[in-house]
Chains A and B, each alone.
Chain A
Amino acid sequence: MGNVIGIGAAPKRKEDQRFLTGRGNYVSDIKRPGMAAGVFVRSPHGHALLRGIDKSAALASSGVIAVLTGDDVKADGLGSLPCGWGISDAQGVPMKEPPFPMLAQGKVRFVGDMVAFVVAETPEQANAAAELLAIDYEVLPSVVGVLEAVRPGAPQLFDDVPNNICCDWELGDKAAVETAFRKAAHVAKLSLVNNRLIGNPMEPRAAIAEYEPGTDRFTLWTTSQFPHVVRFLMGALVLNIPQHKLRVVAPDVGGGFGVKQFHYGEEAVITWAAKRVKRPVKWVASRSEGYISDRHGRDHVTEAELALDETGKFLAFRVNTLANMGGYLSTFGPNIPTNLYGPLLGGVYTTPAIYCNVKVVFTNTVPVDAYRGAGRPEATFVLERIVDVAASEMGIDRVEIRRRNMIPKEAYPYQTPVLVQYDSGDPMGCLDGALVAANVNNFGIRKAASASKGKFRGLGYSTYVEACGLAPSRFAGRLGARGGLYESATVRVHPTGQVTVMIGTHNHGQGHETTFAQIVSDKLGVAFENVDIVFGDTDRVQFGMGTYGSRSLVVGGAALSKATDKVIAKGKKIAAHLLEAAEVDIQFESGKFSVAGTDRAKTFEEIAGAAYVPHDYPLEILEPGLEEQAYYDPVNFTYPGGCHIAEVEVDPETGTVTLVNYTAVDDVGTVINPMIVEGQLHGGIVQGVGQALFESAVYDEGSGQLLSGSLMDYCMPRADHLPMMKVATHSTLCTHTPMGVKGCGEVGTIGSPAAVINAVVDALSHLGVTHVDMPATPNRIWRLLQNASLPVAAE
């Protein structure tokens, strides 16, 4: 028998055995009898009228089974891809929500927009036939940038969306902010771009669909972070398949980062096609296809102003942002730059008045949606950058200005002027810890050493908070969510005492099979190895909203904790019966049910056995079996945060920025498995560093072609770009989640871009550089130095 491995322990991850020995079961590993191959034909143009499609040559091509287009979709009366959020402007006018057909109808709106689906015996035959499809495009000018898209005379994506503006959204007290700005001793201003990113999960998207005529049931295997949501959106809103006739399976999934938390048209097309061709159909995206079809992230242009009094206290913050939505509204699209952005602009500071306006804009680009952090990295970047700008302009030390404005630990719970109320936190404690860990006191020595080699060294801070654990349904509903955001878990205790958990979150690299097993092992006193976690299958798991927004432990773990408590409560009833004691006298501790004050006890296994062998049961008051289910809807978001300190060295000769040190002290609440938390922080930080220094999705204005459409041109961060990171936690407990957890999946990505760019600006500040846009590529830095106000020379 194995051991209890509980909360706070760091066992190796259960799932890594199969991943590291090549025994994972990914969608592309699955083969179904009689399976055909499908390929999508995608628009090569950013913007074009679709005049007609001649299928004849493609249909005559060897091995071709079917060629489906938007006309077939229309003929079958299928729905448009739904958006899960409906936001409104200040007057309550709903956003413009043009249809998003699963195959283009009449017009294509981005390079990669789906025009046809070709099914053939083999992928090679499908590809060959796809090339024979004669598609008559009338090419229109494309518009890819938000500034260009809202200009008068810009190409219009939709006839009924003037100036391409989907919604003119706002948050906060505009008048109070204006009053505060009039009284300000100083106003700091900053214009910036938050660069567009492409998620690049290791595993490209893929799907297999199968229809069984005998049972009239569909099965879709898909690379998804939320199979139940796909079942609902696709079944109920797109294909009109009853929920009980549709099974969605998301088996092992090789990374998501948000890219796989949307309902994609590919899923609907392939499911529809499987019934039409009466064969299972499989599609696996190539990496190149992913670049032009996986939803992109970020892409903001922002003007921000911070009003301060003469002592550097923040009086008011005003932010105007243009946010790129791409060619259509994706599942969460309009929610990201609004509800997940504006409410974070308070940061860890006591700023009393905040106003935020976001114009959500359509362009001829891949639809933009959530990417790790989703709205919160953008908010943190604006705020943490302008704090540095203000400090520099007012001659106040960057750490000092943060201290003067930070919410003190005693002030929690803290109500911000932008909806959210932080339940707990200690930003000052994180800052103090990070200053020591980063050895900031000796920075001057390191800077001098760099200078002696002709390099500029800089230090950058980011003290930040985020809102995660998405989300309280009541709150989300008020903001425009069209669904709930709770989570569910079932704890099934077998007659032998082993446990199977069915949970609605989805593990695609986060280590849930380990973390959740630790929670059960801890609470029930069963061996860690005797707990299995089942997820990702709508036929096996009751329901779930899936994994995104750092919600799995916070919301899913809470549901699991509740269900486990119910198992204990039921166990106590059984024990009371077996031990002939009153239920109130039964205690449960370390896997034993005992009668208080006596040595009479039953093990968890004995209770489980009795539950399934009820020979002598008071059946009128006690059901057989030991299986409990719980749904959990959080009462508030959770608010992890912390302090990140980046240290960079700039080579002025080439413009190369090297990240030389990185320190993070984060408050993630209770830590279940410190090794997994450390891994999540590392990964998150690396993705943020990627945004700050390397990654950028670049489109050609006019043609709408994606210029950074492969790993040859889109620079992902690599191991040799990174120093050894110092990562620590300084936790306060969340006051409203069952275990005090706050979530840790996104903090790294949210805190890091500002820390890195603040360090780059610091390194170049003696040259008069006040801002550097992301990514801080060598070419960009060299250009800044060419234009710098002082001659380039090491200090």
Chain B
Amino acid sequence: MRPFAYHQPHQIPDAAKLLTSIEDSKLVAGGMTLIPTLKQRLANPPALVDLSKLGNLKGIADDGVTVTIGAMTPHAVVAASKLVQQKIPGLAALASMIGDPAVRSRGTIGGSVANNDPAADYPAGVLGLGATIVTTTREIAADKFFLGLFETALEPGEIITAIRFPVPLKAGYAKFKAPASRYALVGVFVAKFADGVRVAVTGAGPGVFRVPQMEAALSGNFDPSAIAAIKIDTDGLTSDIHAEADYRAHLVTVMAKRAVDAALN
């Protein structure tokens, strides 16, 4: 690890100011990705801006039609939240499948969404539910937020403060864990709303994506059988030592079926 300055602001404007005034400085939330990267000397930020002392970034609230989760809320809290379990059980289930207990205790929803790892779980939940990313400067729809491999619509100095999820009629998540890392080799989130179904896939490609064919089929008949015959194009899917692209494509259909099954049960 190389030396760096460490800041722990108490006010959001102070954090944003540090971030813009120190070139290449990095925000640290749970640090589950950043700290290992620093230890391996793969990143060399001159300063870290720790978000843990900022007020109002933790916690879960509900206004009847949406559930809002503070950016610094750890995965374990979301997984154990009675409110999330009741309103969006698929999202609580997703949080319970991230990493291991240590990661779930430290890692945060804001950190995961801002990092946009192509195999992370939360992006599937956020895109699948059509959530809104609330930042220090604006609100961004999930469909406009995830821009590909580790890229998001966040501007320099912009900090995620919360994620607002619409409450679906039904939702479910199914994840095929990569054997070693336990990230999603393929993870599929399905959510049924009054006006249709959304299907979001993580792990299979360079970034989270929706599957319009499956959404259309499930909007007509929200049952695993409706998508059993849908095959995903392998173009653009990831191929690595753990899974070839055609296997990942196959798993998208299998996991989508299982996600629908989970949503129905």
Contact = CB atoms under 8 A, between A and B. Distances in A.
B81 to A, nearest CB: 24
A694 B41 contact: no
Contact of B41 (A127, A712, A783): A127
Contacts of B180: 694, 711-716
Given A288-B40, A777-B242, A712 B181 contact: yes
Interface string B9-52: 00000000000000000000000000000001100000000000
A713 B2 contact: no
Contact of A713 (B1, B40, B242, B247): B242
A447 B183 CA distance: 31
A694 B3 contact: no
Interface in B185-223: none
Contacts of B2: 124, 128
A723 B121 CA distance: 27
Contacts of B250: 782
Interface string A234-268: 00000000000000000000000000000000000
| Most interface-central of B1, B40, B180, B181 (chain A CB within 10 A) | B180
B1 A779 contact: no
Contact of A779 (B40, B41, B242, B254): B242
Contacts of A782: 247, 250
A707 interface: yes
Contacts of B244: 779, 783
| Most interface-central of A653, A714, A779, A783 (chain B CB within 10 A) | A779
A708 B240 CA distance: 11
B236 interface: no
Interface in A660-706: 694, 696, 698
Contacts of B176: 654, 778
A716 B180 CA distance: 7
A713 B3 CA distance: 28
Nearest to B244: A779
B251 interface: yes
A783 B247 contact: yes
Interface string A124-144: 100110010000000000000
Given A128-B2, A654-B176, A777-B179, A713 B241 contact: yes
A714 B181 CA distance: 8
Q: Is the interface of B mostly helix, strand, loop or mixed?
A: loop
Nearest to B185: A778
Interface in A737-788: 777-779, 782-783
B247 A707 contact: no
Contacts of A711: 180-181
B57 interface: no
A761 to B, nearest CB: 20
B141 interface: no
A179 to B, nearest CB: 45
A1 B62 CA distance: 66
A714 B180 CA distance: 6
Interface string B235-265: 0000001111001001100100000000000
| Most interface-central of B1, B3, B181, B183 (chain A CB within 10 A) | B181
Interface residues of A, number: 24
A779 B1 CA distance: 36
A695 to B, nearest CB: 9
Interface string A635-667: 000000000000000000111000000000000
A61 to B, nearest CB: 13
A654 B251 contact: yes
Contacts of A713: 180-181, 241-242
A714 B178 CA distance: 11
| Most interface-central of B3, B183, B254 (chain A CB within 10 A) | B254
Interface string A57-89: 000000000000000000000000000000000
B241 A124 contact: no
| Most interface-central of A131, A654, A777, A783 (chain B CB within 10 A) | A654
Nearest to A288: B40
A124 B38 CA distance: 12
Contacts of A694: 179-180
Given A713-B241, A713-B242, A779-B244, A654 B181 contact: no
A288 B180 CA distance: 15
Contacts of B243: 778-779
Nearest to A712: B181
A653 B1 CA distance: 43
| Most interface-central of B40, B243, B247, B251 (chain A CB within 10 A) | B247
Interface string B53-67: 000000000000000
Nearest to B251: A654
Interface in A104-129: 124, 127-128
B234 to A, nearest CB: 13
| Most interface-central of B3, B41, B179, B243 (chain A CB within 10 A) | B179
A37 to B, nearest CB: 13
A447 B241 CA distance: 31
A715 B179 contact: yes
Contacts of A707: 241
A198 to B, nearest CB: 12
| Most interface-central of B176, B181, B242, B254 (chain A CB within 10 A) | B242
A782 B181 CA distance: 20
B176 to A, nearest CB: 6
Nearest to A714: B180
A711 B178 CA distance: 12
B1 A124 contact: yes
Contacts of B3: 124
A793 to B, nearest CB: 14
A708 B178 CA distance: 13
Nearest to A716: B180
A440 to B, nearest CB: 29
B100 to A, nearest CB: 10
Nearest to B1: A124
A7 B157 CA distance: 69
Contacts of A698: 241
A177 to B, nearest CB: 38
A576 B58 CA distance: 81
B38 to A, nearest CB: 12
A128 B1 CA distance: 9
Contacts of B40: 288
Nearest to B186: A654
Interface in A711-741: 711-716
B207 to A, nearest CB: 19
B241 A708 contact: yes
A662 B113 CA distance: 41
A726 to B, nearest CB: 25
A714 B2 CA distance: 27
Contacts of B179: 694, 715, 777-778
Contacts of A696: 241
B134 to A, nearest CB: 31
B181 to A, nearest CB: 4
A772 to B, nearest CB: 16
Contacts of A716: 180
Nearest to B243: A779
Contacts of A783: 244, 247
B247 A779 contact: yes
Nearest to A651: B254
Nearest to A708: B241
16 contacts: A124-B2, A124-B3, A128-B2, A131-B41, A288-B40, A653-B254, A694-B179, A707-B241, A711-B180, A711-B181, A714-B180, A716-B180, A777-B179, A779-B242, A779-B244, A779-B247
Given A288-B40, A708-B241, 19 more contacts: A124-B3, A653-B254, A654-B251, A655-B247, A694-B180, A711-B180, A712-B180, A712-B181, A713-B180, A713-B181, A713-B242, A715-B179, A716-B180, A777-B242, A778-B176, A778-B247, A779-B244, A782-B247, A783-B247
Pairs of residues from A and B, 7 with the lowest C-beta to C-beta distance, nearest first: A715-B180, A715-B179, A712-B181, A779-B247, A779-B243, A698-B241, A707-B241
Interface of B: 1-3, 40-41, 176, 179-181, 183, 241-244, 247, 250-251, 254
